[in-house]
Structure 1
């Protein structure tokens, strides 16, 4: 990396928790200046606008979440273990994988009617998540771990949407009771597919 590329990456990494916690509209350039200890001119030397920085931050947050999910799942040997690891990874919204919580929820809700570029980035992240879950199920069916009649894509959509909704509800309610009920239900359904 060149010095300019390292500085650009530093700005993204320092800005990401701000955007993911306060939102795009709630994050001011003065917040970014304070977090990076850089002058406004220095920031604009690397990003033409707050919008350009926002797009880079969204990419960074979604990428970081995907890397963490992949790392947790890859520690498991079985498809069932990978699915359980995914569920357990998201089981504590009070201790989220990224500061500020799930970027798909945070950026998705804020951008759904206001920013088509961010909305498309979040959709891509959601598609990746569903496909990753479906691939694990397909792998489990292929290696004889799960019943061949299990519809990987349908269950992946179910698991993903139930977990994202449950994580949001846990954050709003201030407790994990409902989230743990959803996780238990999903684990029971996964167990029912094990041969």
Structure 2
């Protein structure tokens, strides 16, 4: 986030009404709970305990647990996107941006968003149960490899990468390898397999660098 953007966010928050601030507070407290326990595994009592708000107060801002879950999924996905963009924006070169993205996800046991990757968490849970959440996750699943490919294509134009490198193919492969590595690491409780995958990804980046 740039300094200008940060100042804008501060100004925006100052203009928020009390109701808007409360709604934001509920989202911030609910997000890690839903991302850790899942939509089905999260009870409104969990949210009440985290926010110290009565159930009636929660329902003033969200019509139902389902309504809250939709907002929470958006919040977690946005948070993940913000962390990714912030990490990449620290670098000016395409290669620096791609490597920053890789490094951000290199330790699934200490993820950038509390609870792990929301795409993986909510996507797997919603696959056969919630088409609305599935659609939300799918938008980011589709956009992420495209963003990576666009960065590589820019790098090719700038002379950082070889013209022969298939940006679209690598973007999809890189994204799938990282998500797969996250799954294996979270289930096994160690990042050994992710470390292997990260090294494979970085090796291909170096092989296609000029």
Question: Is TM more than 0.5 here?
Answer: yes
Q: How does 1:1-195 map to 2 (within 5 A)?
A: 1-195=16-210
Give per-residue Cα distances to partners, 1:66-101, cap 9 Å, x unaligned. Answer: 000000011112211111111111011111111101
Q: What is the deviation of 1:128?
A: 2.2
Q: Choose 48-57 or 146-155, whichever is displaced more.
A: 146-155
Partner Cα distance (2:76, 2:38) in 1: 12
Deviation digits for residues 35-92 of structure 1 (CA, Å, limit 9, x no counterpart) = 1100000000000111110000000000000000000011112211111111111011
Q: TM-score with structure 1 length normalisation?
A: 0.98
Per the alignment, in what secondary structure is the counterpart of residue 132 of structure 2? helix
With normalisation by structure 2, the TM-score equals 0.91
Structure 1 residue runs of 4 or more that deviate by more than 3 Å after TM superposition:
none
User: For residues 168 and 95 of structure 2, what CA distance do their matches in structure 1 show?
Assistant: 16
**Structure 1: unaligned runs, 5 residues or longer:** none
Cα RMSD for the two superposed structures = 0.8
CA distance in 2, matches of 1:77, 1:44: 45
Q: Distance in 2 between matches of 1:83 and 1:112?
A: 29
* Number of matched pairs: 195
For 2:149 and 2:25, locate their aligned partners in 1 and report how far apart those are by CA, in whole Å: 34
